[in-house]
Each structure stands twice: as structure tokens, then as C-alpha cells.
Structure 1
Amino acid sequence: MRKGIGALGAAILGIILFFVAAHFVSQQFGRCEFRIIDIRIDSLDIFHSELKLDLMVINPSDLIPAFASSIRYAITTDHDTLGQGIISGPISVMPGDTAFLHSYALVRNDPRLMELLYNGEGRVKMKIYIIKFLGLELTSNVSVRFYLRQNDKSD
């Protein structure tokens, strides 16, 4: 009987320590520096386009790796979500390292999204899913402004 109680206590303690460690790792991913390298949109048909997002993640830590199971992102104006996608994982960035992430998402053709990308200025909101375990979820939210330089249109 005592061995069963001790094993149960050890299991509960192990789960608690696991979540404490996951919390520190999730905090680290929130401290990473995110840079939007490029956002492009290619029209597929009259209703849909393919959104391409290139993202750079820099982990400034000397000790703690950053880890995520996936990143869901949305390109937004102040009031509306114009396009969204997912970068599936697992994603890990070692201490002091840089990761380049790429995503392709199918979006509805929206003139506001086209205008936003043509102007080269907007915001990408990311919800970073660190881990899902026993119905619990650790997440971190990041919002990144992007400024894309205009391509020279003269031929």
C-alpha cells in the first residue's frame, strides 16, 4: 500500500516538474526575436490565393533552448484578420542560434490583404503552441510588425 502511494506521489511530482520546465521553455520562446523576412501571395484562382510567409527566429539566450509544437499566425489589420496559417513543428531553436521558418497557407482572395502586402506594411500575430499534455496547453503570444521594401518595378 505504501509503495503505491509513493509511486503515485512520484508520478504527480514528475508531472509538476515537467510543466514547470515546459513553462520556462515557453517563456524563452516568447523572448525570442521574430523578424518577417518576406510575405508573398500568389493567386491560384478567382477565389483563393497561396500566402507564403518566411520568418526568422533568433534565440538570444545562452542557456535555454526555445521549443514549440506549432505556430499559428494571422495577418491582421487593426480590426480584421485577413489571412492565417500554421507553421507545424516541432520547432526548436538552440541557445544563441537562428531558425528560418517557412509557411504556405491557402487564403481567400481579399482586396485588403492584397493592398496590405502591396503597401508592404502590416502586423502578424502569432500564437505559439508550446505543448499540449493531458488537456492542458501552454501558449505564448507574439505580435510582429513587418515592413517589406518595395520591389523596383522599372524594367
Structure 2
Amino acid sequence: MSTSRSVGTDAARFAKAAAATVGAVFLLVGVLGFIPGITTDYDAMTFADHDSGAQLLGIFQVSILHNLVHVLFGVAGLAAAREARLVPPFLFGSAAIYAVLTIYGIVIDKESDANFVPLDSADNWLHLVLTVALAGLGFYVKQQLDGRRSDRRTA
């Protein structure tokens, strides 16, 4: 097996593993949001509004909608993991959505009806970290996959 071939295979394998890991974590977080005990004040969970009193791990305000969004991100990540070329768009798209959620969470009044997700300060910080981490991982994966393509062209 040639070196460029193994580099390409390694890049694709890494990209798929990255998407699968991100997807699995989001799916796990979404499911955990529906488990009483892991989610405190579970009986105060609403579908989607700022009055949802449930908190994942006692820290992050969640609602049914919020948990379902995590599940959907998880499913999208697992789907993207099937093909390496789908991984950068998944990671960049996820980073963009979390960037919007970060800004949204900062500018809205936490007690208004506009806070329908719902979001609190802990969520805002987590969303900021996710934005940076997902974008960074997306750039790294894209760089690795682009290197794979240039290796094939020079071989």
C-alpha cells in the first residue's frame, strides 16, 4: 500500500470517527435530557419556553424541544459519519447553528417569550465553546481530507 493511499484512508477514517463521536455525544446528551435524576426538576420540563424548570445535570436549562434538537444533531452526526466528504459540512453547519444560538442567547431577555429554546447563561457558554470546537474540528478535518486529495493528485 502506498503512503499517499494510507494517508487518505487515515484522513477519511479520522473524519468519520470525528463525526460519529460528535454525533454520539449529542445523541447521548439529548437522551439524558429525558431521564429524571440526570435532569433535575424533570417534572417542571415544558415543551419549549423560558419557564421550563428542568436542568440537565442541574446546570443546563432544557426543554423537550432543546433535547430533541440535541437528538437531531446526534442523528445528523451519525449520518455524516457514513461518508468522509459529509463531515466538514456537518461540522461547519453545526458550528454556524451554535454560533447563532450563542448570539441569540446573549441578546434575548431570558424571561421573555422569545427565549423559547430555553437558554440560560450556562447554555450560552457551552454554545460558545461548541461553536469554536466544532469549527476548529471542521477546519482540521477539511485540511486532512484536502491533503488526502492533493496526495492523490501527486501520486
User: Whose helix proportion is higher, 1 or 2?
Assistant: 2
**Larger radius of gyration between Structure 1 and Structure 2:** 1
User: Whose strand proportion is higher, 1 or 2?
Assistant: 1
| TM above 0.5 | no
**Structure 2-normalised TM-score?**
0.31
